[in-house]
Amino acid sequence: MTFLDLLRSASVRHDSMLCVGLDPEPQRFPLHWRGDAARMADFCMAIVDATADRVCAFKPQIAYFAAHGAEAQLERVIHHIRAVAPGVPVILDAKRGDIGSTAEQYAREAFERYRADAVTLSPFMGFDTVEPYLRYEGKGAFLLCRTSNPGGDDFQAQRLADVPGQPRLFEHIARLAQGSWNRNGQLGLVVGATRPAEIERVRALAPTLPLLIPGVGAQGGDADATVRAGWRADAPIVVNSSRAILYAGSGPDFATAARAEAERTRVQLNAARG
């Protein structure tokens, strides 16, 4: 099954648009593991066990593991997802973006070493930095388009004088992803939940692409506005929440608390869909 097949199937099977982001911070672990980076995999696997039937995807963020030299723990976590949540896709949040020969190695890392189903990428350096990922048949790639961080305005909101119609940069990226760059139907876009009006604009420009929408939960994104702006029956959205779910509890029952928060978020998202 392709990434899109997996995503659509998991979304229907679990009646969910929720993606749980796996961003393990040892200093925020439950008290009995707090500060112990050797427990990153154990922490994430407990979250996976607790939420596997409530999500449409999991999104491990590679930097949280790499900062502690814990890439082997990331491999364990992804292997565990395969074992306990077969059919739930894994989106490797790496935000890579480099020249073609280096991109080939990053693609190999994402799809061969970690065996992810999709990866996040920066399109800033152009299509030749994206194309190596598209050689992996059935894999997905989400391009950063309109992000939720304040500095996103520095470039993404600027108009392109040399492009007909002078679109804003994020609009140009959305058109490319919907059009000529999407050679094998593998692309999606990342749009922050804190910008619902711009989610709606991206959806208008890219009506068939999956949207990965971070920022619901701890970042303050409006779940209802996010779904209304981005959801379409034939175009999935993947609404990510990380910290609000991971750190919903700090005691031995942290996984139970995470499941309760995941279920609350899933229900809220579904209610906004109508």
Active site residues: 95
Please report how many Cα atoms fall inside a 13 Å half-sphere around the Cα of residue 184, on the Cβ side.
16
Strands 118-121 and 140-146: parallel
Question: Please, is 250 exposed, middle or buried when counting C-beta atoms within 10 Å of its C-beta (0-12, 13-18, 19+)?
Answer: middle
Six token digits for residue 228? 């209304």
Instruction: Find, among 265, 259, 264, 258, the residue nearest to 240 by Cα.
Output: 265
| DSSP 8-state symbol, 151 | G
Instruction: For the chain, list the strands marked E by DSSP.
Output: 18-22, 57-60, 91-96, 118-121, 140-146, 187-191, 211-213, 237-241
Distance CA 92, CA 110 (A): 7
Distance CA 19, CA 32 (A): 26
* Amino acid type, 255: A
The order of strands in the sheet holding 18-22 is 57-60, 18-22, 237-241, 211-213, 187-191, 140-146, 118-121, 91-96
Contact by Cβ (8 Å): 198, 146? yes
Distance CA 104, CA 121 (A): 13
